[in-house]
Structure 1
């Protein structure tokens, strides 16, 4: 089975996030492969263990986004594709899904077998791109799966929510998004790190995909950030001395903060 895994290069959640002058996410800071996408990469690797198939990692983003592909290749993916084009700057979810869909068509010669994604990116956290890509490709979608089983051309998985769990079934070809409950992503081994240096990575532009620049980018986005406010500095917490009335003071504090 040949699997395409969509991944994203995101700002490090441990660092300070900020925006640029045009109110888009500042990506000129330390970044990494989105943690939630690592679970999709791991699941693809598990499905192709034993030499049965190939895993292609696909990403869209600036030059530094190649680091996301690099990490996936070190984990064990076979090859990567990086869609790199200045016109993509500021693209929203519909534009992103368009480019991903066209790239998947090119990777698979128009015949995708299985497309895997993470639950959502850790920067945008929208979670709608997998469904949009599936719609553009005309594929059935099984999203937010905590388990995944493939038998023949049948796909089966469990989706968990706060109230209940449900079983999702569909047939291949399909698009599946997975949660962080599905597996434990492997750490790249020294052998994997060295092997990744020899694995092929192709870089494509919008022209290579036949996508008009007028369909993507900040100027053509359906949504945009108009203003933002920096997070205020952390203030010293309030210390309450318990003299037998600590519970009452705590309740008053929470009530004042409208937390109860």
Structure 2
């Protein structure tokens, strides 16, 4: 019952937020052209961030875990939204990837992307500290908190890297969240999946775009759910995998890998609008 309530709350709040943002008089500023040249709106980002955060917090079994979800989801969504808006400016577009943002910082320029990186990292650290650790020593607890922060920030970044085609980030998040939707803290994950499921049809139909706001928030919340259920070994393995994928993204195109792998391509294209002739 708790699972279904959280799922429903996440879905309802995501739909309500999407309608509210799309009907706002200033919503024209959120219009963008996607990879096929179709006009979409970035309203999907804040809708997912708000819906998934609220759903996760409602389903959290403790106040500390609810606070961790709110911190990770709200901050990651907010700094992601800032990057979605400010990062579209010509002077911001020149900096690509972590190396590009770091290079701009060396030149004395703080890009919106760097602000997002710092914000997501700080939110991950606070959220991980709220989750805590079961280890008895101070060093052990500190290590677990740092590992958890890396997992939360790393998962946020991974979903953002995948958000290059309609529905891709939500599908990836659903796959990552499926194992967390059973057993301990399942209702928390249900809230996130409810929000993402509610927005998936509009995303696949190329009406909305998640942007950094939605992808970062969804990923960070999945990181919180995983960190809350894992010990030191699990966090180490997850962080190593995330770091490897992030490093690989600087050298190879995930889109090209997906397009060149038949089963991944089929999954990626499932439910999506046909390409323009």
Same fold by TM (over 0.5)?
no
Q: TM-score, normalised by structure 1?
A: 0.32
* Greater Rg over alpha carbons, structure: 1
Normalized per residue, the structure richer in strand is 1
Taking structure 2 as the reference length, the TM-score comes to: 0.31
